Amino acid sequence: MIVGVLVELSNKNIDKIFDYNVPVELISKIKVGIRVIVPFGRMTLEGFVLEIKKSNDSNVELKNIISIVDEDIVLNSELLELGKTMRNKTLSTLISCYQVMLPKALKAKNGSVVNIKYDTYYRLGNISPDEKFNSKQNEIIKCFENNDLVSRSKLVSISLSSLNTLIKRNILVAEKKEHYRVLYKEINNKKKELTSDQKEVVSSIINNSPDTFLLYGVTGSGKTEVYMEVIDYYLSLGKSSIVLVPEISLTPQMINRFRERFGDKIAALHSALSDGEKYDEWRRIVRGEVSIVIGARSAIFAPLTNVGVIIIDEEHSDSYKQSDPNPRYNAKEIAILRSKYHNCSVVLGSATPSLEVMARAKKGVFKLLNLPNRVNGKSLPEVDIIDMNNEMKKSKGHFSLKLISSIEECLEKKEQVILLLNRRGYSSFITCKNCGYTFKCPKCDISLTYHKSSNTLRCHYCGYGEKVYDKCPSCSEESLNRLGVGTQKVEEELNNIFPSSKILRMDFDTTSKKGAHEKMIEDFKNQKYDILLGTQMVAKGLDFSQVTLVGVINADTSLNIPDFRSSENTFSLLSQVAGRSGRSEKTGKVIIQTFNPDHYAISMVKSYDYLGFYNREMYIRKQLKYPPYYYLCNIRVSGKDASYIFGEALKIKRSLDRNLNNFIILGPSNSSVFKINNIYRYNIILKYKDDSLLYPLLEKIIEHYKSISKIKIDIDFNPSQML
């Protein structure tokens, strides 16, 4: 028997299938989609079996496979095919497409092997009639009256020595059972009676299936309940479901809502799980022990069979696009590909749909469904926009008088507050007030971030760090200014204004410990705290009934990012966080502090005018030839020798110019982070409407540079960020 093996070598030169001979003793175990160990040159490598052949069709003598890694298939035929499509769409290697589908514990290069855990159980062996037992031994044997298998821990609790004796006498026979690391709550199937709006949406989805739907529903309109109802319907038909949520809103709260309704039918894949736990969850999916998978981007590859529906919540989130490394895929596109295979529907949900998806819904490519009202029957919370240009004259801190008095009111009523510190892309950095000197990473050309606890400046790309001094290294004045706001700093200020209130800070630092995030949410829900202060983490997916005030401390930071989507991202972030207020019986309120009160991305949040925003932003996109009117492709050319790289980038640009008509080709220009770890980066940006000529040309370019190690070409189709 001969097999074609795709070898797992991340080197870009090798993305090919090689034939190997299967030794007789392994033939019975060979299947397409398992991994094997093969000799490759002087190395031994891991690879995927992609084809089984009857005979050797070349004259070369083939090498033997060394061993087999998996008993069970790790990539089924659907995923094997999907990988090939992905490869063609993203122009990455086939092997990288397969690797991204599998949990980290299965990756060869990972090094740390994750073990499967086992529990020991016993079953009764043969007992001849003349065997005699003492009372402890009898007690142990009694455990088997109603059970075939009894766990070791239970028997040990009766008597270890009796257990050992029974094992020695072959009365008890050991058996191993896999032990999954994640524990499950009991189902209590909490089901809500749906509103008539919700019911209508649910039946629309079911009756028009298969199709791709955009569920455009305001925050608190009950989208999550709709998802669960649809999932339940497909469950009753014996079909499975995939639910994608952004990592940031994959909170314990969200998972618990699904757990309460579906119990152990769910596998949840999120970053708080260890590699071992993820591996266990993945094996439950492969074995068909779960019917619902909920997870972030890569959960779209969950090896479920017979899928009934794929749901993508917070569809507008940029987390669905993998921007680095290859394959630079978009989970929404993968969802649609998988839905074609399974002949099932995709539901894209959002209160602020991305322009691309809304434009398609308006054109009729996707079916538009609408939930215009909140479930609680109330209108959306009133939004007050505070002009900080005026406020800064009155007070020197980060809080306007209006926000302070509103927090005060809220605390008096024993209600809760969420405060958002918008830090997207920016953090605390230090400049000199005298000469304007800013501390930058010597290798990466980005501002260093100030870490108060260690009094150091650190680079968030490469980890470079240095101590902070009082004097400016450039002009020697003692005039360093800690610019940018950190959550710690705002927390201190808040503590000074409201000394008796209990403040919970939630950011990357405070949630990094396992279980910390979960505990914070639980504590805040139980009103152990009055104010939840945090970064983007507090903006999405949270549902607290006692929160009646949401304050945005600095609405502008996300507006200033050099990216054509900055308005869209700002509008969407502000609308999302506003939606955390007044979700239950009590009426909510929102205060947004900004230096740009007249910018439409901020002013239109006040009236929750998504469609107004959409129209205005679409007009700008059309003028500037951006998506959704044009497709984008970013070609990044990088390497250590800046002038060589720039020269090659220019050559690439000229060749594109010669070969592509009706393309707008920009650059080469410096990436917004020009240097990372001493690697210089140039971008060439393409805008186009028709890509048919583009792919073969890019394949040629990739092929040409493949063997030149001092230059790297990265291609990102429809990038989520233009940095």
What is the contact surface with ligand ADP in residues (CB under 6 A)? 192-195, 198, 217, 219-225, 375, 543, 583
Of the listed pieces 355-363, 461-469, 567-575, 655-663, which binds Zn ion according to CB under 5 A? 461-469
Q: Which is nearer to ligand ADP, 198 or 566 (CB)?
A: 198
Q: Which is nearer to ligand ADP, 192 or 514 (CB)?
A: 192
Which partner, ligand ADP, Zn ion, none, binds residue 198 by CB below 5 to 8 Å per kind?
ligand ADP
How far is it, in rounded angstroms, from Cα 47 to Cα 136? Answer: 53
Which residues on neighbouring strands pair with residue 430, listed in sequence order?
482
Q: Please give the angle made by the CA atoms of 402, 407 and 409, to the nearest 5 degrees.
A: 95
Residues 6+ apart with CB under 8 A from 178: 116, 117, 118, 119, 283
How far is it, in rounded angstroms, from Cα 94 to Cα 51? Answer: 14
Q: Which is nearer to Zn ion, 134 or 678 (CB)?
A: 678
Q: Which is nearer to ligand ADP, 303 or 582 (CB)?
A: 582
Q: Please give the angle made by the CA atoms of 289, 290 and 296, to the nearest 5 degrees.
A: 135
Q: Which is nearer to ligand ADP, 219 or 345 (CB)?
A: 219
Residue from the set 18, 144, 426, 461 that interacts with Zn ion by CB under 5 A: 461
Q: Which is nearer to ligand ADP, 364 or 377 (CB)?
A: 377
Which partner, Zn ion, ligand ADP, none, binds residue 443 by CB below 5 to 8 Å per kind?
Zn ion
Q: Which is nearer to ligand ADP, 169 or 192 (CB)?
A: 192
How far is it, in rounded angstroms, from Cα 485 to Cα 502? Answer: 21
Return the residues of window 428-457 that contact Zn ion according to CB under 5 A. 441, 443-444
Min dist CB 459 to Zn ion, Å, is 3
Min dist CB 638 to Zn ion, Å, is 15
Q: Which is nearer to ligand ADP, 219 or 536 (CB)?
A: 219
For residue 456, report the phi and psi dihedrals to the nearest 5 degrees. Answer: -125, 165
How far is it, in rounded angstroms, from Cα 182 to Cα 659? Answer: 54
Q: Which is nearer to Zn ion, 213 or 429 (CB)?
A: 429
Min dist CB 473 to Zn ion, Å, is 17
* Buried/exposed code over 12-21 (b: 16+ C-beta within 10 A; e: otherwise): beebeebbbe
Which partner, Zn ion, ligand ADP, none, binds residue 459 by CB below 5 to 8 Å per kind?
Zn ion
How far is it, in rounded angstroms, from Cα 426 to Cα 444? Answer: 15
Which partner, Zn ion, ligand ADP, none, binds residue 327 by CB below 5 to 8 Å per kind?
none
Min dist CB 224 to ligand ADP, Å, is 3
For residue 465, the surrounding DSSP H or E stretch is: strand 465-467
* Buried/exposed code over 549-569 (b: 16+ C-beta within 10 A; e: otherwise): bbbbbbbbbbbebebbbbbbb
How far is it, in rounded angstroms, from Cα 45 to Cα 51? Answer: 17
Paired tokens of 393: 């004259």
Contact 550, 539 (CB under 8 A): no
Which partner, Zn ion, ligand ADP, none, binds residue 461 by CB below 5 to 8 Å per kind?
Zn ion
Which partner, Zn ion, ligand ADP, none, binds residue 464 by CB below 5 to 8 Å per kind?
Zn ion
How far is it, in rounded angstroms, from Cα 629 to Cα 688? Answer: 9
Return the residues of window 464-523 that contact Zn ion according to CB under 5 A. 464
Helix, coil or strand: residue 519: helix
Min dist CB 278 to ligand ADP, Å, is 26
Q: Which is nearer to ligand ADP, 350 or 535 (CB)?
A: 350
Residue from the set 2, 30, 37, 462 that interacts with Zn ion by CB under 5 A: 462
How far is it, in rounded angstroms, from Cα 196 to Cα 194? Answer: 6
Min dist CB 245 to ligand ADP, Å, is 10
How far is it, in rounded angstroms, from Cα 575 to Cα 540? Answer: 10
Helix, coil or strand: residue 271: coil
Min dist CB 77 to ligand ADP, Å, is 35
The CA dihedral of 495, 497, 501, 505, to the nearest 10 degrees, is -40
Contact 620, 413 (CB under 8 A): no
Which partner, Zn ion, ligand ADP, none, binds residue 462 by CB below 5 to 8 Å per kind?
Zn ion
Which partner, ligand ADP, Zn ion, none, binds residue 441 by CB below 5 to 8 Å per kind?
Zn ion
Q: Which is nearer to ligand ADP, 195 or 575 (CB)?
A: 195
Min dist CB 378 to ligand ADP, Å, is 11
Residues binding Zn ion: what is the number (CB under 5 A)?
7
Residue from the set 226, 420, 459, 537 that interacts with Zn ion by CB under 5 A: 459
Min dist CB 313 to ligand ADP, Å, is 7
Min dist CB 258 to ligand ADP, Å, is 11
How far is it, in rounded angstroms, from Cα 337 to Cα 79? Answer: 11
Which partner, ligand ADP, Zn ion, none, binds residue 194 by CB below 5 to 8 Å per kind?
ligand ADP
Residues that bind Zn ion (CB under 5 A): 441, 443-444, 459, 461-462, 464
